[in-house]
Amino acid sequence: MSPNGSLEARYPGTAGPTGMLRRDAWWVEPLLTVLGLGGFVVYATWAGFQNAFYFVDPYLSPFYSPCLSSNCEHVSLPLIGRWWNLSPAFLVLWIPGGFRLTCYYYRKAYYRSFWWAPPACAVPDVRTGYSGETAFPLILQNIHRYFFYLATGVLVFLWWDALEAFRFPDGFGMGVGTLVLLVNAVLLSLYSVSCHSCRHLCGGRLDVLSKAPTRYKAWSLISKLNEHHMFYAWISLFGVAFADVYVRLVAMGVIRDIRFF
């Protein structure tokens, strides 16, 4: 963005220079975010629509877990009857999707990179009007903790899937896929536990932490993890996409799952 007239109007009375004076590569971070998040959303939507190659015994893709409809290849919980004839992924994807959409870290990431409010620090907002999170629809971000509850439920199923991944048709065993699903569950757990709402609910909301020693311990631990919430957000995003790709390729017969035992 070059210095321009419309910016001048934005700083009435400040009388200093206008325009964008940063000379470093401030655009790299938003660009990488657009590529990373955009790429994930495109892939997850595509994978959700496929409605195939999401299960290969004993591996269930995390995009389809828990599998709730009876049209599923591997039903986790038969909640939805035959009438549901779309991809079972859509019955669950909205939960992790909503959890990440309302996550404090991802909000920062997409407000900056997609919404350009602001694109980077000391780089002017692209739009002249601004209402932050005071009005609909962004006021709905306050729902985040409810998505945290729901996502925790999904996480229980993903751990279950990781354990099930030891149960091959020919008995107990372990393959690369088992490891992939296990790592996926660990990464997603780190992401969930380090959540700001989780931190608040576990202890942050108290003023006198010394009177609640267990909650103080939980809060202290979560606070440490919370410092790396952005890292867990990204690595778990890649992890979950990789787990789906892995199961998909094995199910399609493109690659062969290596059995350790």
Partner 1 sequence: MAASEYTMRIWRGDASGGAFCDYRVSVEPGMVVLDAIHRVQATQANDLAVRWNCKAGKCGSCSAEVNGRPRLTCMTRMELFPPGETITVTPMRTFPLIRDLVTDVSFNFGTAKQVPPFQPKPKEPDGTYRMQQEDIDRVQEFHKCIECFLCQNVCHVIRDHPEHKKHFAGPRMFVRYAALEMHPLDTDNRLELLKEKMGLELCNITKCCTEVCPESIHITDNAIIPLKERVVDAYYDPLARVFRKLTGTR
For 124, the token pair is: 């002017």
Minimum distance between the CB of residue 148 and ligand FES, rounded to whole angstroms? 6
Alpha-carbon gap, residue 208 to 92, rounded angstroms? 38
- Restricted to residues 135-154, the positions that interact with partner 1 (CB under 8 A) are 138-139, 142-146
Stretch that binds partner 1, among 18-26, 31-39, 43-51, 88-96 (CB under 8 A): 18-26
Instruction: Write the interaction track for ligand FES spanning residues 144-173; mark x where CB under 6 A is met and - where it is not.
Output: x---x-------------------------
* Closer residue to ligand FES, CB minimum distance, 11 or 146: 146
Q: Is 78 in contact with 70 (CB distance < 8 Å)? A: yes
Dist. CA 37–CA 34, nearest whole Å: 5
Does residue 200 bind ligand FES (CB under 6 A)? no
Question: CA–CA separation, 149 vs 167, rounded Å?
Answer: 28
Distances (CA, A) of 201 to 205, 216, 217, 261: 6, 11, 13, 42
Query: Which position among 3, 4, 11, 28 is part of the footprint of partner 1 (CB under 8 A)?
Result: 11
Please state the closest distance from residue 58 (CB atom) to ligand FES, in A: 29
Binder of residue 117, out of partner 1, ligand FES, none (CB less than 5 to 8 A by kind):
partner 1
Decide: is 197 part of the binding site for ligand FES (CB under 6 A).
yes
- Please state at what angle helix 28-50 crosses helix 229-252, rounded to 10 degrees: 40
**195 contacts ligand FES (rule: CB under 6 A):** yes
How far apart are alpha carbons 88 and 243 in whole angstroms?
17
Which whole-number Å values give the CA distances from 190 to 10, 49, 205, in the listed order? 42, 28, 21
Closer residue to partner 1 in complex, CB, 84/111 = 111
| Residue (75 or 123) nearer to partner 1, CB | 123
DSSP annotation of 132: T
Number of residues engaging ligand FES in binding (CB under 6 A): 10
Binding mask 100-119 for partner 1 (x = CB under 8 A): ----x--xx--xx----xx-
User: In angstroms, what is the C-alpha Rg of the chain?
Assistant: 22
Contact positions toward ligand FES, by CB under 6 A? Answer: 99, 103-105, 144, 148, 195-197, 229
